[in-house]
Every structure is written in C-alpha cells, then in structure tokens.
Amino acid sequence: MGVAANIKRLRKDAKLTQEQLAEKLGVARSTITQWENGWTQPRMGMVQALATVFGTTASVIVADESASGVVQTKTATESLVPLVSWERHAGGTSDQQTTTRYIEVPASVIANHPRAQGLIVEGDCMNRIAPDGIAVVFDPDLNPENGAITIIEANHEVIIRRWYLSGSTLVLVADSTHDFNDIIFRKGEGPIRVIGTVVWIQSPEELL
C-alpha cells in the first residue's frame, strides 16, 4: 500500500464519504479524489490533519508496504516549483511571467523534471482531471505522448488539453463534464507551440 491506498482505506474504516472527509479537512472533494487516485499527494501538514481525523499517526498515512509485507515509512522530502502565468498583449502575443507563488511537490518530481514549472488552471475544459483553480506542474522539456495532458500555445492563446497526434493531424481534446469541441490542427496550420507536458497535479489548498 501507498499513501493513496492508505487514505482510502482509513476513510472507509472511519465510515466517511469523500465529501465528509473534505469538509473535516477544509478542502474540496476533488482534492480527496486526487489523493485516493494517486494523482497528487498531501503535504505533511495535511498528512498530520488526516492522521488527526482518523485517530492515527502520520507514519501510518505515509507507510508503504513492500512486496515482502514489510511496512516502510516514506520520508517526506519536498521541493518548490515556481508558478508562472502569461501576460497577453494587445497585438495578440503573450509572454511568460514568473509569479511570487510556489507549489510544494515531492523531491522526486524535481529529480525527474529539474526545469518543472507550475500553472494555475483556468476554466472547466479539463475538470475531470484538473478543475478550475487547481495547480499543475509541467515539464517544458518533455515532449507529449498521445493522451498526455499538455500545455499549448495555439493561435496566441495558452490552453490545456489532452494531446493526440496522428500523421499530420493534431487533435487537442478536453476532458470535462461539460461539452467542448475538439481543437484540430493539420500540418501547416497554427501557430502552435508546446509549452510543456503535465507531470504533477496539486490541490489549490496546498499552494504557498
């Protein structure tokens, strides 16, 4: 078991719904969903809050059971990723700006993606995975594979979509509870620029 499985098991043992647990912690229900699916992990401050709710210790929350059945406690080593935004100009161009806010992520994210940056999602086009206001961490050096959540500048607008490339046709697909049309580009159309591929999703309550 890992953090995700531990949270889910302890929540069910406590006979709490995701919504009830979210209310006790002061977070959105989607945050609990992210944790239990392993899409994000709670920071240590929130791990302690979970332990208090479940009447256990933080080490139980972060314990990981190896194949041999030995329970190992993970060390919570975290690093900071800068948040960026885009400033749009009257001429239709946009420039990337670094803000004064950061996302705290596991050190392993930085180890695997040393130039990672963060971005606050705006809109509902990806709300099944990354709802409005949530933070995503992207790697500007990682080329997207089909199905990857990708940050793209298309026609001077920065968007987030799932990436599907087949031959000379690129399809950018929303992953939303609302209806969004696919955005289709064929060879020679654009301009299109890949800003980065999403490698981590963080709950908005855990921004610094």
Q: Which residue has the higher pLDDT, 38 or 174?
A: 174
Tokens standing for 91?
């001429």
| Candidate ranges 24-33, 59-68, 105-114, 138-147; pick with highest mean pLDDT | 138-147
Domain limits of the chain?
3-73, 78-206
Going by their DSSP bridges, the two strands 183-186 and 78-88 should be labelled as unpaired
Query: What phi and psi, each to the nearest 5 degrees, are found at residue 152?
Result: -135, 140
- Portion of the chain with pLDDT greater than 90, in percent: 31
CATH of 3-73, one of 1.10.3210.10, 3.40.50.300, 1.10.260.40, 2.60.40.10: 1.10.260.40
Tokens of residue 52, six digits: 């208090």
Residue 95, beta-bridge partner list: 87
**Measured in whole angstroms, how far is the alpha carbon of residue 36 from the centre of its chain?**
13
CA angle 12, 14, 18 (to 5 degrees): 55
Cα distance between residue 137 and residue 119, in whole Å: 6
CA Rg, the chain, in Å? 19
- 78-206: what CATH class? mainly beta
Residue 165 has pLDDT above 90, yes or no: yes
56: exposed, middle or buried (Cβ count in 10 Å: 0-12, 13-18, 19+): middle
pLDDT band at 70 (very low <50, low <70, confident <90, very high): very low
Position with higher pLDDT, 13 vs 68: 13
- In this prediction, residues 128-155 reach a mean pLDDT of 90
